[in-house]
Chains A and B, each alone.
Chain A
């Protein structure tokens, strides 16, 4: 009799355990929809991400402004920024430069970044005369289309950021050829005091 009562009390317990297992299905965790870069059995190439049809232009990214989008006007590199130069733009340029470019070009632009130290071909220093004399549009063009061993970075860096980087490269160039007389008097006095 005792063993019978144990058995009857075990049934609800087993049933509860069974209910526990019911929650082990993952239907709602993995819904039949495509997540970013997930595999797909529907498309022949096995990817849920679809390639862009030929000649489509993302909304708002039509290349209508040559100076802004290709860094040239009438086939000649622009020499001026196609937007206003602001401290914010330069700061953005510095941030992007140090994230994307400094790996090879080095933080000061001397072409001795970490990847170069690992054996990548040495890029020219920004502080060479020919680089200092290069028109601004040239830097934009190189970021967009690559140059020599450098691959195009158009997919990684948006046009606005490419200009910010180009502007920051100019600032780097200036930093290595700065004239003390161009400094504000208080900064110059401080510098002179420190160098004595």
Chain B
């Protein structure tokens, strides 16, 4: 009777068994890498902008407060983008003829807004409100990073759900005293005159689990 399996069958069987495991792991690993890489998350990817605005210059070197331009951050969902007129508060007098600022001057002259590229864009099924986070002691740099060190703006956090939940589960790791919300250099380890849990209580942050309800963010 003829043999059903050829001489090489054992090798084929081993190679395919091993190969499938490697393939599945490999695909899983590659997907994971792509999913968490800047290619998907845009973390650390500076975007091209109509004007190469430097937060580093305006915040760190000029000492301009976040709220000078992002005026609605304390009272609305949206932090607010400065109008071209806001730029002109200073640039009507200084650097008035720099070519880099030509788009701003043109925008003011023609009353057409500058078309900035959004650095942080949440999916539309997520509800987010700046004002409540600022009011409850979450500082700018907790989510936006050291913007004062960015010559052009990029994203430092994925803004993925996992990342949001880390804070919604453990707010005590991130809350700051009210006067430090706009401070760029503040670190969680610093300035612990008030215990973090005490701060959480002071801000009346709900720790009963309501912050991690689906409908808190997906409403």
Looking across the interface, which residue of chain B has its beta carbon closest to that of A107? B63
Interface residue? A120 (CB, 8 A)? yes
Contact (Cβ within 8 A) A28 B124:
yes
Contact (Cβ within 8 A) B124 A33:
yes
Q: How far is the CB of A14 from chain B (nearest CB, A)?
A: 12
Q: List 8 other contacts, CB 8 Å, given A99-B182, A115-B62.
A: A37-B78, A100-B67, A103-B64, A115-B64, A118-B62, A120-B93, A149-B93, A151-B85
- Could you give 26 example pairs across A and B, Cβ below 8 Å? A2-B9, A6-B16, A9-B20, A28-B125, A30-B123, A30-B124, A31-B124, A31-B125, A33-B124, A37-B78, A37-B81, A37-B113, A47-B113, A99-B68, A99-B182, A103-B62, A103-B68, A103-B90, A115-B64, A115-B94, A118-B94, A151-B88, A151-B92, A155-B85, A156-B68, A156-B71
Interface residue? B54 (CB, 8 A)? no
Interface residue? B1 (CB, 8 A)? no
Interface of B is mostly: loop
* 10 A-B pairs with the lowest CB-CB distances in the bound complex, closest first: A99-B65, A29-B123, A31-B124, A36-B78, A119-B94, A151-B89, A114-B63, A99-B67, A156-B71, A114-B62
Looking across the interface, which residue of chain B has its beta carbon closest to that of A9? B20
Contacts of A98 in B (CB 8 A): 65
Task: Find residues 6-62 in chain A having any chain B CB closer than 8 Å to their own CB.
Answer: 6, 9, 17, 20, 28-31, 33, 35-37, 39, 45, 47
- Most chain A CB neighbours (cut-off 10 Å) among B20, B93, B113: B93
Interface residue? A121 (CB, 8 A)? yes
Contacts of B63 in A (CB 8 A): 102-103, 114
- Give the distance in Å from the alpha carbon of A66 to the alpha carbon of B35 in the complex: 58
Given contacts A2-B12, A151-B88, A155-B83, contact A119 B93 (CB under 8 A): yes
Contact (Cβ within 8 A) B78 A121:
no
- Give the distance in Å from the alpha carbon of A121 to the alpha carbon of B89 in the complex: 12
Looking across the interface, which residue of chain A has its beta carbon closest to that of B123? A29
Contacts of B64 in A (CB 8 A): 103, 114-115
Contacts of A100 in B (CB 8 A): 65, 67-68
- Most chain A CB neighbours (cut-off 10 Å) among B31, B89, B90: B89
Contacts of B112 in A (CB 8 A): 45
Contacts of A30 in B (CB 8 A): 123-124
Contact (Cβ within 8 A) B90 A120:
yes
Interface residue? B77 (CB, 8 A)? yes
Given contacts A2-B9, A28-B125, contact A149 B92 (CB under 8 A): yes
Contact (Cβ within 8 A) A39 B124:
no
Given contacts A100-B68, A103-B64, A151-B89, contact A29 B12 (CB under 8 A): no
Looking across the interface, which residue of chain B has its beta carbon closest to that of A99? B65
- Give the distance in Å from the alpha carbon of A185 to the alpha carbon of B144 in the complex: 48
Interface residue? B162 (CB, 8 A)? no
Interface residue? B86 (CB, 8 A)? yes
Contacts of A99 in B (CB 8 A): 65-68, 182
Contacts of B7 in A (CB 8 A): none
Contacts of B94 in A (CB 8 A): 115, 118-120
- Give the distance in Å from the alpha carbon of A155 to the alpha carbon of B83 in the complex: 10
